[in-house]
Chains A and B, each alone.
Chain A
Amino acid sequence: MNILVIAEHDNRILKPSTLNTIAAAQKISTTIDLLVAGTKIDSIVQEAASISGIERILYAEHPALSQNLAEPLSELIATLGKNYTHILAPASAFGKNCLPRAAALLDVAQLSDVIAIETPDTFIRPIYAGNALATIKSTDSIKVATIRSTAFSPAEKGKKLAPVEKISLSLSTTELSAFVERIEVPSERPELTAARIVVSGGRALGSKENFALVEQLADKLNAAIGASRAAVDAGFAPNDYQVGQTGKVVAPDLYIALGISGAIQHLAGMKDSKVIVAINKDEEAPIFQVADYGLVGDIFELVPQFISLLENQKASGNV
């Protein structure tokens, strides 16, 4: 068995999700090649080469691959993929975009958001917003899957460098699409899907201005910020803060839900967190059914208290 893992990067850094995906691949076989595609990404290729457990880095350089466009990238994956038994990519916006297209080009099915690997052909994945887990056996000759990062501990980096092989290729799909621009949401905080602590705000915050309360608590805890769909739809927080079935899936050590009722779609994105704290004035809110520590009350009174207590603890050296 030999596995092709697709590396995710944004032309500046190798995304941590790549390490989780390699960890998943290691559960299947030790013969793992990592595909890094793009242009002017030598430093990312070097970094990728230091990941433990990889046999080779396949470095594909082509102008059409510079912006992770699905059409050329899927064509590349499908061309290389014929020689592999498994093709894995992170279940991020990147992997979800390109991998199903590559699978169709190879005429094989795909398994999305895999959370466990039982055998090389049997995988477990959530369905119905995480309300059920399906154990699925693939009968395809090539198993194509996206991997839920939070379900696998990241592969480590070592001193030994994997050999890098440059691939030269011609692509036929370069005229179909073009990159126009990227609008980034800049943040100094840890990345949402990789953070140890996440503080999330819901509709109860009431306004974009009040959402600063979530930011203040997150700052004290060096946490990433999340939001419920209701808060995002109401414009309190940007889209990519959204935690849930249709947003990001997180599993931090500590998840603090402020003014979030806990709809099924939100729970699907955070219920695998180690410790869940909920602060909500409605004691019947479904979020309390999954919270390890629940506090009933007004977030506008309790969160400032929480922040000042954390400051005191910090001052006395307890945190």
Chain B
Amino acid sequence: MKILIAIKRVVDYNVKVRVNPDQTGVELNNLKMSMNPFDEIAVEEGVRLREAGTASELVTISIGSPACQDILRSAMALGADRSILVETEQSLEPLAVAHVLKSIAEREKPDLIILGKQAIDDDCNQTGQMLAGLLGWPQGTFISELKLESDHAVVTREVDGGLEKLRLKLPAVITTDLRLNTPRYPKLPNIMKAKQKPLETLKISELGIDITSRQQILKVSEPAKRKVGIKVKDVQDLVEHLIQEAKVI
């Protein structure tokens, strides 16, 4: 079984971003960049399926600037067999990303595509669903468990109020939730080996896909600051404040 995994390079999740002075976006210069955490989980799941013998080939793909090679090399250090970088300097919206992934999927013909459930920069939570829609494949979103059989996948989804189990006909698209697995760290020898693994680079223009933005960002602003709170001395004091001042209990 061939698996395609889409990964994104984003600001590291530990970094607190700031809005830039002209309010056109956030300051990204000199910030630490990493693989999107949900995508690390997607890669880990793929590697586990490879180790279990379920997956025969693991291909990772990223779309963006040449700097995205870093995260593709990391994915190969973790166990991916080869990578594809679709180069563009433009920041793509989820619909355009889904179109690019669709065109790669039509070429690669994977049995399963794994994505993270959302990128922690745009917080959209759309790409996997859009890709599944464009391909006409079933989708298993926000999954915390995956079982693959010959012609279908059984996925456990994290939904409001509990969990839900679905059976999807392969090929399918799935998106990972945090609890699917715990990603491993790459070992040094594997990082060295990853340098030799194939990384194919395509220009986005070669794919003939319309990537025009549908959404225009008019402004990016700081959220309203909360007023400074107080420290209360004990529980008695707290309860009095809640009853008399805040009037919430």
Q: Does chain A have a CB within 8 A of B52? A: no
Chain A nearest Cβ from B97, distance in angstroms:
11
Which residue of B is nearest A105, CB measured?
B133
User: Interface 1/0s, chain A 280-309, versus B by CB < 8 A?
Assistant: 000100001011111110000010011001
Known: A104-B98, A113-B123, A184-B162. A135 touches B219 (CB 8 A): yes
A39 to B164 CA separation, bound complex (whole angstroms): 18
A96 to B133 CA separation, bound complex (whole angstroms): 13
Q: Which residues of A contact B129 (CB under 8 A)?
A: 70, 74, 96-101, 104
Cross-chain contact A129 with B161 (CB below 8 angstroms)? no
Q: Does chain A have a CB within 8 A of B163? A: yes
Q: Does chain B have a CB within 8 A of A254? A: yes
Chain A nearest Cβ from B198, distance in angstroms:
30
Secondary structure dominating the interface of B: mixed
Q: Which residues of A contact B232 (CB under 8 A)?
A: 293-295
A43 to B163 CA separation, bound complex (whole angstroms): 25
Known: A182-B164, A292-B229. A132 touches B238 (CB 8 A): no
Instruction: How many A-B residue pairs have C-beta atoms within 8 angstroms? Tell me.
Output: 258
User: Interface 1/0s, chain B 40-76, versus A by CB < 8 A?
Assistant: 0000000000000000000000000000000000000
Residue of A102, A103, A126, A127 ringed by the most chain B CB atoms within 10 A: A127
Q: Which of B1-9, B80-88, B166-174, B183-191 contacts A (4 or more CB under 8 A)?
A: B166-174
Q: Does chain A have a CB within 8 A of B215? A: yes
Chain B nearest Cβ from A160, distance in angstroms:
30
Cross-chain contact A127 with B220 (CB below 8 angstroms)? yes
Q: Which residues of B contact A177 (CB under 8 A)?
A: 138-140, 166-169
Cross-chain contact A96 with B17 (CB below 8 angstroms)? no
- What is the number of residues of chain B that contact chain A, defined by CB distance less than 8 Å? 80
Q: Does chain B have a CB within 8 A of A42? A: no
Chain B nearest Cβ from A289, distance in angstroms:
8
Cross-chain contact A180 with B94 (CB below 8 angstroms)? no
Cross-chain contact A110 with B94 (CB below 8 angstroms)? yes
A245 to B13 CA separation, bound complex (whole angstroms): 11
CB contacts under 8 Å to B, within A200-228, are 221
Known: A108-B95, A109-B95. A101 touches B139 (CB 8 A): yes
Chain B nearest Cβ from A240, distance in angstroms:
6
Q: Does chain B have a CB within 8 A of A169? A: no
CB contacts under 8 Å to B, within A84-118, are 92-94, 96-105, 107-113
Q: Does chain B have a CB within 8 A of A83? A: no
Q: Does chain B have a CB within 8 A of A47? A: no
A136 to B94 CA separation, bound complex (whole angstroms): 15
Cross-chain contact A122 with B218 (CB below 8 angstroms)? yes
Q: Which residues of B contact A97 (CB under 8 A)?
A: 129, 139, 141-142
Cross-chain contact A132 with B158 (CB below 8 angstroms)? no
Q: Does chain A have a CB within 8 A of B122? A: yes
Known: A93-B158, A295-B238. A102 touches B133 (CB 8 A): yes
A residues sitting closer than 8 Å to B (CB atoms) are 10, 69-71, 74, 92-94, 96-105, 107-113, 122, 126-140, 173, 175-185, 193, 197, 221, 229, 232-233, 238-240, 245-246, 248, 253-254, 264-265, 271, 274-277, 283, 288, 290-296, 302, 305-306, 309-310, 313, 318-319
Query: Can you show 8 pairs from A to B with CB atoms below 8 A apart?
Result: A93-B158, A101-B132, A104-B131, A137-B215, A180-B167, A233-B179, A245-B120, A292-B230
Top 5 nearest A-B pairs (CB, nearest first) are A104-B130, A100-B129, A104-B133, A176-B138, A100-B126
B residues sitting closer than 8 Å to A (CB atoms) are 11, 13, 16-19, 26, 93-95, 98, 117-118, 120-127, 129-134, 136-142, 144, 154, 157-169, 177-179, 213-223, 226-227, 229-232, 234-236, 238-239, 241-243, 246, 248-249
